[in-house]
Amino acid sequence: MPSVRVALGDRSYEVLVENGLIARAGEAIAGLDAGARAAVITDGNVDAHHGDRLIESLEGAGIEASRHVVQAGEASKCFTAVASLCSGLAAAGHDRRSFVIALGGGVVGDLAGFVAASFYRGVPFVQVPTTIVAQVDSSVGGKTGINLPEGKNLVGAFHQPRLVLVDPDTLTTLPPREFREGFAEVIKHAAIRDAAMVGELATLDPGSNEVPADLIARNIAIKARIVEEDEFETSGTRALLNFGHTVGHGVEAAVPYGELLHGEAISLGLRAALFLSERRAALEPAASRAVLGLLERFGLPLQLPGHIRTEAVLDRLSRDKKFAAGQIRFVLLRDLGDAYLSTEATPQDLHDAVEHLRS
């Protein structure tokens, strides 16, 4: 099976990618020696499709498992859900000899990872991502967290998983909108680190929920190499993964959670970042058109809904973690595959970029 190693010293782990892997998850996890009791954290939608298979696999490998189900959606990334889950784990008899399994998309992975980082001051956890966003991005790298009313992911911890199990078959159960939104992160990876992938993505059928395991592994490798260079975001390299996310998170936070899916907001953020890359980094318009063409191909939005005020977006993004000591840090492209972290963007640039999304 395709696999990617994330080399982080004593925090290193493997990401395994194989169709049907959930049914064999217990065998893979048993080899970790993470504990004999697992708390599976998932949401109602994912549990209906994959929960029983995972629990059966765990029990078949001699791992006792409890199931903890949260409401699907971004609203579950909150302190209330963390408190409820921690209480549920304690009531089920879990302690520091237990471990957490995150079964779901990016919301479940972020939430369950934060619970694992906090419960008994930290227990091991395993990621079993079931969406494209989670499989190619959020399940790898150790970022966990929850949202505040003031912005996304403002509370969290770095807590690397012990193992990531990616089963591309889980994508076949996604509704079309949730399937397509994940490609915003895939397109982002191609734009910042793999120009050849831009052309290859143009050959995929957006109407098919089947994604080649090798393509998923290739995206994971891009994320893994960047994380290895800058695990705790100290050198600036890991910030390259935020291409499209500064404005994207501002857009996402400017509307009620769920109105725009994460990938849909990031699509708008990518268009804004391309606009600024042309203005500040001399990116060729043809390169922008190639990326925008992919976003359009996968049905991702490129125009800001009229009811979202520019001032609301700018207010939200000004609180984003990617602003250091009040300085604007913005990821730009010189060319496809050549991203860098710039401090040249001005408040006027950001205003113009958001306004550009109305055209």
Pairwise CA distance, residues 180 & 226, whole Å: 24
- Write out the residue limits of the CATH 3.40.50.1970 domain(s) in the chain: 3-172
Tell me the average pLDDT across 135-164.
95
Q: pLDDT tens for residues 37-56?
A: 999 999 999 999 999 999 99
Judged against a pLDDT cut of 70, whether residue 322 lies above it is answered with no
Tell me the average pLDDT across 70-93.
97
Q: pLDDT tens for residues 222-279?
A: 999 999 999 999 999 999 999 999 999 999 999 987 899 999 999 999 999 999 999 9
User: Which SS3 state, helix, strand or coil, does residue 261 take?
Assistant: coil
Just list the catalytic residues. Answer: 121, 143, 185, 223, 233, 238, 242, 245, 249, 262
pTM over 0.85: yes
Judged against a pLDDT cut of 60, whether residue 16 lies above it is answered with yes
- Write out the residue limits of the CATH 1.20.1090.10 domain(s) in the chain: 175-356
pLDDT averaged over every residue in the chain: 95
Q: How confident is the model at residue 355 (pLDDT cuts 50, 70, 90)?
A: very high
Class of the domain covering 3-172 = alpha beta
Judged against a pLDDT cut of 70, whether residue 326 lies above it is answered with no
H helices of the chain, in order, are 25-30, 44-46, 52-60, 79-91, 106-118, 132-133, 176-181, 183-193, 195-201, 213-229, 245-253, 262-281, 285-297, 310-318, 347-356
pLDDT at 146: 97
In DSSP terms, 125 is beta-bridged to 100
Architecture of 175-356 per CATH? Up-down Bundle (1.20)
Report the first-to-last Cα separation within the chain, whole angstroms. Answer: 45
pLDDT at 328: 85
Q: Residues 6 or more apart from 103 whose CB is under 8 A from it?
A: 40, 41, 42, 46, 47, 50, 51, 54, 128, 130
